A and B are shown apart, each in its own frame.
Chain A
Amino acid sequence: MRALVIDDSRAIRLILVQILKALKFEVIEAGHGLEALEKLKESGPLDLALVDWNMPEMNGYEFVCEVRKDDRYKDMKLMMVTTETEMAQVIKALEAGANEYVMKPFTKDMIVEKLTIMGIDVG
């Protein structure tokens, strides 16, 4: 399985990449939404993207909107991993097409449980 980790914090990316690699994912990283869209063009559709909300250039919400406009990525699971914790933000992300939502701080268990909820077999 292949995943994209999008976060402007290198430290957070490192943690998420470690979690996904331990679950046998091949992982691509991006520091903001625009970079993520470009990497997605190169890689083609992936199984999963973990998406931060607040980032420079293009934020995570805008990234989700862009991805959901493109039918090629319709099966790709999108999970927000963000410090945004207002109910309105969760609703906004889900309505834009995010499949799941994790509020920072997170643990490995939380990520694994959410992947399972999305039907991703983590073994």
Chain B
Amino acid sequence: MAVTPADFDYISKIVREQCAIVLEKGKEYLVESRIMPLVHQEKLESIENLVKKIKQEPRGSLKDAVIEAMTTNETSFYRDIHPFETLKKEIFPELIEKRKAKRELNIWCGASSSGQEPYSLVMLLKNDFPQLNSWNLSFSASDISNQMLNRCKSGIYSQLEVNRGLPAPLMVKYFERIGTEWQVKEELRKMVQFRIINLSEAWPTMPQLDLVMMRNVLIYFDVEMKKNILGRVRKLLRPDGYLFLGAAETTLNLDENFERMPFKQSGCYRLKQG
């Protein structure tokens, strides 16, 4: 959901006044990605409504919550680490063994945000499974925000962002220094097809998928839409494929066709077997 120029200016103003952080024009994507969870949590439907409420209650706790959301960066490379450990040790070795005849893997990151997740995965594949270089790898990553998608495509990250969760040996191997920022090397950027997909609307045609990453995005939707999205993922997922959800998300009471895999804090699911 887009932030209007007036609301962006208002949020920039209170963040600047409270903690001296300057949100320049072009950072609208940042405001949207950080504030939308708060909008949903407060059941306000839009950033516009949230700004109205803060203006009505300028001394209320909502203003502090906005400041906190804008200054706490939850996005990092290899976020939560455990899902990536599971992918490295369990899922990719299994999928590679099962698909070795066709030499084909189809992966979709359904909420790529600013790109740390798809690039973490691509680095994992490139670094730990070099045999995939000769495979037919289809890797798509989508987000609802056009600004976010352009950012993903550029693969450019600030020093603060590359400090978050990115192992230094991988930074050296897969990034280039561009002025004061860091850019994912072209060979990795070319491996991912970034596209706009609104999960709550019709999805474009996709191949049968071996792996779906849908982490920390279902929380934004109501129960019916969560069921709808999981139902569509179920149809796209190969019978022996895997789905990853965020640590605080579940298929429980939403879609009984999935079963949780017993991997430590990974949010890993597959379709019930047999």
A interface, CB within 8 angstroms of B: 85-87, 90-91, 94, 98-103, 105-106, 109-110, 113, 116-117
Contact = CB atoms under 8 A, between A and B. Distances in A.
B116 to A, nearest CB: 12
Which 5 residue pairs across A and B have the least CB separation, nearest first?
A: A101-B168, A113-B165, A87-B177, A110-B163, A117-B167
A87 B168 CA distance: 10
B22 interface: no
Nearest to B72: A109
Nearest to B170: A117
Contacts of B168: 90, 94, 98-101
B5 interface: no
B21 interface: no
A102 B163 contact: yes
A87 B171 CA distance: 9
A91 B171 CA distance: 10
A102 B168 CA distance: 8
Interface in B212-233: none
A110 B164 contact: yes
Nearest to B76: A113
Contacts of A117: 78, 81, 165, 167
A91 B159 CA distance: 16
**Interface-centre pick from A85, A106, A113 (highest chain B CB count, 10 A):** A113
Contacts of A91: 172
Interface in B145-180: 159-160, 162-165, 167-169, 171-172, 175-177
Interface residues of B, number: 18
A85 to B, nearest CB: 6
A102 B164 CA distance: 9
Contacts of A105: 160
Contacts of A110: 163-164
Contacts of A102: 163
Interface string B41-83: 0000000000000000000000000000000010010100100
Contacts of B176: 87
Contacts of B78: 117
A121 to B, nearest CB: 11
Contact of B172 (A94, A103, A109): A94
B250 to A, nearest CB: 24
B113 to A, nearest CB: 17
A109 B175 CA distance: 22
Contacts of B81: 113, 116-117
Nearest to B159: A103
A95 to B, nearest CB: 10
Contacts of B76: 109, 113
A86 B177 contact: yes
Contacts of B169: 94
A90 B163 contact: no
Contacts of B175: 87
17 contacts: A90-B171, A91-B172, A94-B168, A94-B172, A98-B168, A99-B168, A100-B168, A103-B159, A103-B162, A106-B163, A110-B163, A110-B164, A113-B76, A113-B164, A113-B165, A117-B81, A117-B167
Nearest to A116: B81
A86 B172 CA distance: 10
A87 B172 contact: yes
B68 to A, nearest CB: 14
B167 A100 contact: yes
